[in-house]
Structure 1
Amino acid sequence: MKKALKKLMGLAGVAALAGSLATATVSAQEKTTVTLWTGGSDNVRMVFEELEKAFDNSSYGELYDLEVEFILSGSGAQGLRDRLVAATLAGETGTNYDIIELGADDIPSYTTDMTVDEMFVPVDTALVPNLERVDAQVAENAEYLAPYRGTTVVLAYDEERVENVPTTADELYTWIKENPGRFAYNTPGSGGAGSSFVVTAVYNFLDEAALTSSDEANMEQWDQGFALLEELHPFLYQSGGSTVYPNKNQGTLDLLIDQQVDMIPAWADMAISQINQGILPETTKIAQIDPGFTGSLNAFAIPTIGSNVEGAHAVMDFMLTDEAQQILLDNMAAIPLVDSSSFDSPNSSLLEGLDVTNFRRSSLGELGGLLNERWDNEIGTLQ
């Protein structure tokens, strides 16, 4: 009954969207193309290929034909941000930059040389009825963003080498001290897992609301957290007699694979994907702590230089349907932003014990960069 009800709700949302777009007078025979730009690793590309097919086979596909332009990480190709900014500054119009995927905190990096209104179109929530299903907040520029997936950082550990898995932040810090050299986190500026470890250590001393605030006044309350990070420093992974902070999220995963450490903070989706691929051993497990590590939101935005604003809104709405959210959960262990209580996923066993309803979001805006800068100056330079 619940599934049927959700399906009816989803169909109602499609009907509402179609009604709102009636002025476009687009028939099934006169479909227009909407182009979505995104990037990342090859597994992300495959997920978007599946999402593209699902969109085109859905009711939304009766009005629009979705095409995904994917920029593969490490390919040497110019990044999406640089391409879009250059095209906008050049005054291009009517381009195929109809909709882009980005991190919920990424808009400031797109708008260093122009205003947000010059770069992005505000989201018309009337054209994205499924946004009402989303319980997610971003700190800045919310009117330009449609969040569609989340992920969170968890503890990844080898169950054969860790007997008592920490369940709280305080227990984790005690475990690190009692097991010197067996824990590592990457530099916060090189990857989100290390950044989450730092943010959590600092912001556990602040009110929870600070995690989704860009108020610079919060910087005055960072001292306790940085004192904790300094206290933990000598107990972390070492090489050549000195504490080493790996580079990038994969750097700590590689240490876990090579059994040089027993426990790390890692993105849930990265850990699950590498367990499924056999890169991480089957003995790798993930766990949450309380208060939990922070996560992030990925979102869609509509550039002003695109040519299909209505189609971009349709893509946003589709990505929040049960069908799309299930694809994201199944294929990249993305945390759904809609009620997923009825979802049945092959990742369920790996996610067992990970309560997605307690997904702890972090959206600090420009404070995130300032936090990383302070870490570089005060923690990264410690001997």
Structure 2
Amino acid sequence: MKKICLFIMSVLCLVIFSSCSNEMSTISQSPDVLKNMDWSEIEQESKDTTVRIYMWGGDEGINRYIDEWVAPRMKEQYDLNLDRIAMDTPEQLKKLMNERKANQMKGNMDIIWINGENFKNAKENELLYGPFSNQLPNVQEFVDKEALDVTYDFGTKVDGFEAPWGKVQFVFQYDESKVENPPKTYKELLDWVKENPGKFTYPDANDFTGNAFLRQLFYESVGDVQKILDKGYDEQFASENSGMMWDYLNEIEPFLWREGQTYPNDLNELDRLYSEGEVWMTMGYNEARAEKFIDKGIFPKTTKSFVLESGSIGNTHFLAIPFNSPNKQGAMVAINYLLSPEAQLTKLDSAFWGDNIALDPGALSQEDQEKLREIDRGDSVLPADTLKKYIKPEIHAEYVTWLKENWVNEVVQTK
């Protein structure tokens, strides 16, 4: 009988200890407690745990970067296991939505790669943990926290619910054997188009790149991108501030390829025109995009890039932590490492990904700035400090549709 009593007491103690342990784990990961923890405590609590990062898995170079470069170093430096899991973002957000409705506070995602409309929906429906990003030492030290492309994600305020991981930027490409001095402003571009009839065009506004070209011109028409961000999506505001844009597009139209009677359907068609020498400029939403075409002999070796001084749109992508991540401490440690100069400079190397850094180049040490300069992204790619100087954030996604519809009314149908 005595042995049975001792056994029952042992089981009860185990249950109580387990319960307390679970409670302590839950408490330590609550926003208020984590917010007040020292970074060293967060690192300590993450040791010998697993972090599951859910991300798009369609690029071999990105996958190798995570699996073969990041994961081993995180294990070695932080005793943290990193598991990469390929995902379909809308499906995972739907899953998170169902878990939120069911008040399921322990999920299976620790980090989610996200931006744009997906972030907007996740933030509005309280699917994310945070704010957390300002607790990360590498955000404090290396990220320009005032930059609009960091504080806004497609017009939605980030408010610390995600941390920037990388970015691409809209640039123009040109053949320097035919264009000696590329334009620096929209006025200079207007003059160049008129002086070189038929040698410039842009894709239809239904195309992603053609629409991005219009969005940049919309910024110019409004005069200050901050005004657009402050307004959010506002059709009346857009109508009242887009006159300069429509006048500009109609003024250059007769001097475009085929006198503006038709436009390339998409960027692929514009790139073909450029590769065949019919036009002398192309464009795209990736500052390093020309390199692969040059290497394959599609673009001339004399291809270079430029941005206009009024700015070029940058698309920043981010990392966030789901509201019910079972390992929030580990997620924060992992994201902080992904924002280290070491990890960011390796990510920039085209041997893996070639994705631009999310860090402020000026905040890097002299040694890391030298490493940044030594990374050869190709002769057609603008320097990191130039890209940083002129980057502008994306605006509310609904402006994409507004521009598509109004471009037809204001430009195409006025022929």
Confirm whether residue 99 of structure 1 aligns to residue 111 of structure 2. yes
Confirm whether residue 46 of structure 1 aligns to residue 65 of structure 2. no
- Partner residue, 2:251: 231
Confirm whether residue 361 of structure 1 aligns to residue 382 of structure 2. no
Confirm whether residue 303 of structure 1 aligns to residue 318 of structure 2. no
Confirm whether residue 323 of structure 1 aligns to residue 328 of structure 2. no
1:36-185 alignment, distance < 5 Å = 36-39=54-57, 42=59, 45-59=60-74, 62-70=78-86, 79-81=88-90, 83-91=91-99, 94-104=106-116, 106-108=118-120, 110=121, 116-125=124-133, 127-132=135-140, 133-135=142-144, 136-137=147-148, 138=152, 139-143=155-159, 144-185=161-202
1:226-252 superposed Cα distances (whole Å, 9 cap, x missing partner): 22122223332339x8221432x4342
In structure 2, the residue corresponding to 1:314 is in which secondary structure? Answer: helix
**CA RMSD, Structure 1 to Structure 2 (Å):** 3.1
Counterpart AA for 1:47: I
Given that 2:74 and 2:334 are in contact with CA atoms closer than 8 Å, whether structure 1 keeps it comes out as no
1:193-245 superposed Cα distances (whole Å, 9 cap, x missing partner): 32332122221131253364443374231221122122223332339x82214
1:172, distance to aligned residue in structure 2 (A): 1.1
Distance across 2 between alignment mates of 1:176 and 1:106: 38
1:181, distance to aligned residue in structure 2 (A): 2.4
1:60-118 superposed Cα distances (whole Å, 9 cap, x missing partner): 653422233346xxxxxxx422x12332344385444332223345423x45xxx6243
1:260, distance to aligned residue in structure 2 (A): 2.8
Confirm whether residue 202 of structure 1 aligns to residue 221 of structure 2. no
1:55, distance to aligned residue in structure 2 (A): 2.3
Larger-Rg structure: 2
1:239-258 alignment, distance < 5 Å = 242-247=261-266, 249-258=267-276
What TM-score results when the alignment is normalised by the length of structure 1?
0.78
Given that 1:202 and 1:226 are in contact with CA atoms closer than 8 Å, whether structure 2 keeps it comes out as no
Distance across 2 between alignment mates of 1:96 and 1:251: 43
Counterpart AA for 1:190: D
Given that 2:80 and 2:330 are in contact with CA atoms closer than 8 Å, whether structure 1 keeps it comes out as yes
Given that 1:297 and 1:361 are in contact with CA atoms closer than 8 Å, whether structure 2 keeps it comes out as no
Counterpart AA for 2:395: L
Identity among equivalent positions (%) equals 23
1:50, distance to aligned residue in structure 2 (A): 1.2
Counterpart AA for 1:195: N
Distance across 2 between alignment mates of 1:157 and 1:317: 38
In structure 1, the residue corresponding to 2:321 is in which secondary structure? Answer: strand
Distance across 2 between alignment mates of 1:236 and 1:350: 24
- Partner residue, 1:378: 410
How many residues align structurally?
Answer: 347
Counterpart AA for 1:227: D
Distance across 2 between alignment mates of 1:381 and 1:328: 45
In structure 2, the residue corresponding to 1:68 is in which secondary structure? Answer: strand
In structure 2, the residue corresponding to 1:253 is in which secondary structure? Answer: helix
Task: Find the partner of 1:274 among 264, 269, 293.
Answer: 293
Aligned CA distance change for structure 1 residues 218 and 21 (closer, same or farther; 3 Å):
farther
Runs of 4 or more, structure 1, over 6 Å off, are none
Task: Find the partner of 1:293 among 308, 312, 327.
Answer: 312
Distance across 1 between alignment mates of 2:62 and 2:282: 26
Instruction: Give ranges in structure 1 of 5+ residues lacking alignment.
Output: 1-15, 72-78
1:286, distance to aligned residue in structure 2 (A): 1.0
1:175, distance to aligned residue in structure 2 (A): 1.4
- Partner residue, 2:375: 345
Aligned CA distance change for structure 1 residues 381 and 308 (closer, same or farther; 3 Å):
farther
Counterpart AA for 1:358: K
Counterpart AA for 2:54: L
Confirm whether residue 20 of structure 1 aligns to residue 42 of structure 2. yes
Distance across 1 between alignment mates of 2:357 and 2:116: 15
What TM-score results when the alignment is normalised by the length of structure 2?
0.73
